[in-house]
Amino acid sequence: MGNNHGHSLGIPAGKGPNQVGCADLMVDHTIQGTFLRLYYPCEPSSDSEQPVWIPATEYFSGLSDFMKMNRVVGTRIISYLFGRYKIPALWEAPLKSDRKYPLVIFSHGLGAFRTLYSGICIEIASQGFIVAAVEHRDESASATYYFNKKCETEQQDDQASDDLEQVWMYYRPIKPRENEFPLRNKQVLQRADECVRALKLIAEMNSGRTVNNVLQSHFDWSTLKNSVDLCKTAIMGHSFGGATVIETLSKEPTFKCGIALDSWMFPLDEEMFPRVKQPILFINSEKFQWAGNIIRMKKLDCTTVQRKMITIRGSVHQSFPDFTFLTGNWIGKMIHLKGEIDPHVALDLSNKASLAFLQRHLSLEKDFNQWDPLIDGKDENLIPGTNLIIPPSSL
């Protein structure tokens, strides 16, 4: 498939001083439970391996459905193209538990799931954060799962893992002539609730509560006790996840700031905008945005709280998920997984601007302020604000 602007194909490793571990957590086996992937600074571990990027065949099927491909054919193609990739993090390596880490909750986009933004999550974790990537169960993920209890007659013994059966749920497409807004608004409200629940779950573990991970795991979740600085929490997300950032900020004042990556504003009811009190950084791609969407972002502008917007030149909507690193230039541009800009340059700008914004609003004692100019769009590959012409009358 060719290489990637001089880079070999693969998800980039974190550039920060910490090695990164990751582990999956599901608390409460039902559809109302919490399901997330945790990325964290870890101790070096010789017996930890890198996990596969897409962790189950059903996710290939879900991506096929989402892209309107025949499921059998699509699963084979996507598995062939992407099934061999691993993420540059150590599976269930021990947490480096010698300090308290700021926390970022991450919300995925439409048709995605918890592993597809590992490039962003690993970079943020390598810089000294705990990152919890939520897998949403609002039927906006291409696929996800939970568990049901088996009937008594089906139970083999009393082991919890044996009396539960996996139930997969897939992306729900819009029906013909269906009004889309009520569905998307209901979904964004559920997504915000799931992000708040993830925050509260991590807060409980930080206080020493023992949690029962439904998934088989060798990670010692008790090491999270006193390892999270709950005064320094932020939320971040892409596309539908960007809308989720704004909805969540309106619901949960514990979050000190939000970062919305190429946010899709349609699902939001503007009546809640005045309830959003925290700083927000909008990082947009040049090719995805349109005037009506930007106008809705601008309605969140505030004279007393910092609301910033930058646009990455030559970037597309898919410049943020991992797919952009896993396709060669020709095929990547043909199916809009790549823009004109080197994807490594684009994500590096996004990550550095995000880290500078997090330092500013979480009062971190780091050196991320070296990237403060990026927040104002001061780089040859950035545009301050937007590339679109917005009539003043529309604001």
* Tokens 């060798």 belong to residue: 218
- Rounded average pLDDT over 193-197: 98
Q: Are strands 228-238 and 20-27 parallel, antiparallel or unpaired?
A: unpaired
Q: Is residue 36 part of a domain?
A: yes
Q: Is residue 325 part of a domain?
A: yes
Q: What torsion do the CA atoms of 15, 18, 21, 26 make, to the nearest 10 degrees?
A: -100
CA distance linking residue 287 with residue 237, whole number of Å: 18
Q: How confident is the model at residue 171 (pLDDT cuts 50, 70, 90)?
A: very high
Q: Is residue 10 part of a domain?
A: no
What percent helix, strand, coil does the chain show, rounded to 5?
A: 35, 20, 45
pLDDT over 90, % of the chain: 84
pLDDT of residue 29: 94
Catalytic residue among 239, 263, 319, 354: 239
Contact 25, 38 (CB under 8 A): yes
Q: Is residue 199 part of a domain?
A: yes
Catalytic residue among 107, 317, 350, 361: 317
pLDDT of residue 327: 83
Domain total in the chain: 1
Q: Cα separations (Å) of 300 from 111, 247, 281, 295, 297?
A: 26, 12, 11, 9, 6
CATH of the domain at 112: 3.40.50.1820
Our answer to whether residue 220 is catalytic in this structure is no
pLDDT of residue 55: 95
Our answer to whether residue 317 is catalytic in this structure is yes
Q: Is residue 116 part of a domain?
A: yes
Whether pLDDT at 2 is above 60? no
Q: Is residue 329 part of a domain?
A: yes
pLDDT over 70, % of the chain: 93
pLDDT of residue 330: 61
Whether pLDDT at 390 is above 50? yes
DSSP-derived 3-state class of residue 120: helix
Whether pLDDT at 208 is above 90? yes
Q: Rounded to 5 degrees, what are φ and ψ at 208?
A: 105, 0
Reference 234, options 96, 356, 344; nearest CA is 356
Q: Is residue 148 part of a domain?
A: no
Our answer to whether residue 48 is catalytic in this structure is no
Amino acid present at 299 = K
CA distance linking residue 218 with residue 44, whole number of Å: 16
Does residue 329 or residue 78 have the better pLDDT? Answer: 78
Reference 107, options 236, 12, 232; nearest CA is 236
Q: How confident is the model at residue 153 (pLDDT cuts 50, 70, 90)?
A: very low
Reference 337, options 265, 283, 387, 287; nearest CA is 287
Q: Lowest-confidence range among 71-85, 132-146, 367-381?
A: 71-85
pLDDT of residue 284: 98
Task: Give residue-wise pLDDT tens across range 34-51.
Answer: 999 999 999 988 888 999
pLDDT of residue 393: 74
Task: Give residue-wise pLDDT tens across range 258-284.
Answer: 999 999 999 999 999 999 999 999 999
Domain containing 191 equals: 20-51+86-139+178-394
Task: Give residue-wise pLDDT tens across range 292-348.
Answer: 999 999 999 988 899 999 999 999 999 999 999 998 766 666 666 778 899 999 999
Q: Rounded to 5 degrees, what are φ and ψ at 247?
A: -60, -40
pLDDT of residue 319: 93
Strands (E), the chain: 20-27, 34-41, 90-91, 101-107, 130-134, 143-149, 164-170, 228-238, 257-261, 280-285, 307-312, 382-384
Angle, to 10 degrees, between the axis of helix 71-82 and the axis of helix 57-66?
120
CA distance linking residue 278 with residue 43, whole number of Å: 34
Q: Is residue 378 part of a domain?
A: yes
Angle, to 10 degrees, between the axis of helix 343-362 and the axis of helix 118-126?
50
Whether pLDDT at 159 is above 50? no
Task: Give residue-wise pLDDT tens across range 361-380.
Answer: 999 999 999 999 999 999 99
pLDDT of residue 380: 97
Catalytic residue among 65, 163, 262, 322: 262
Contact 285, 309 (CB under 8 A): no
- Rounded average pLDDT over 163-187: 96
Whether pLDDT at 5 is above 70? no
pLDDT of residue 161: 61
- Rounded average pLDDT over 90-117: 96
Average pLDDT score over the chain: 92
Q: Lowest-confidence range among 34-43, 58-67, 151-160, 372-381?
A: 151-160
